[in-house]
Amino acid sequence: METDCLFCKIVAGDVPAEVVHSTARTVAFRDLNPQAPTHVLVVPRVHQPDAASLAAADPASFAELATSAAAVAAADGHPLDYRLVFNTGSGAGQTVFHTHLHVLAGRPFTWPPG
Ligand code: 5GP
Ligand code: ZN
């Protein structure tokens, strides 16, 4: 755990969040500022700053983000249509530097994204 990391604190239960799913390696909670009817963040229990770092350090946790995301979308009634996003780097919109997979569902999505 990184002492200054918001998502480490949510994983530890030290900062409240609406947790909707958890596994041995992941925790999923609703985004504070949702961009779709379903907007959940799936995070690994281990601290890594971004998706590639996590994949290199702990492939099992990286894989479990995707399977957890599918379970979260299905539980919200969207088993077939959902969007998964890893923002990586501040230029791409990353604001919290603990790997997190955005799960968005429940409205139409356009491409390319904004
Ligand atoms: P990023 O911009 O790094 O890809 O995503 C960070 C996300 O974390 C944002 O969508 C933001 O709304 C969400 N967020 C920031 N602080 C909190 C918080 O304290 N609790 C929850 N549940 N979400 C947060
Ligand atoms: Zn962290």
Question: Over the stretch 50-86, which tens digit does the pLDDT of each residue have?
Answer: 999 999 999 999 999 999 999 999 999 999 999 999 9
Longest Cα–Cα distance of the chain, Å, equals 38
How much is the pTM? 0.98
Instruction: Share the mean pLDDT of the chain.
Output: 97
Instruction: Kindly report the protein residue whose alpha carbon is nearest to atom 24 of ligand 1.
Output: 32
* Span from the CA of 110 to the centroid of ligand 2 (angstroms): 31
* 78 tagged catalytic: no
In this structure, the residue with its CA closest to atom 4 of ligand 1 is 94
Angle made by CA atoms 38, 95, 55, in degrees to the nearest 5:
80
CA angle centred on 101, ends 14 and 104, rounded to 5°: 110
Cβ(90) – ligand 1 distance below 6 Å = no
Measure the CA–CA gap between 3 and 51, rounded to whole angstroms. 20
pLDDT tens for 94-107 read: 999 999 999 999 99
CB of 6 within 6 A of ligand 1: the answer is: yes
Q: How confident is the model at residue 3 (pLDDT cuts 50, 70, 90)?
A: confident
pLDDT for residue 2: 82
Partners of 104 in the β-ladder: 39, 83
33 Cβ below 6 A of ligand 1: yes
**Portion of the chain with pLDDT greater than 70, in percent:** 100
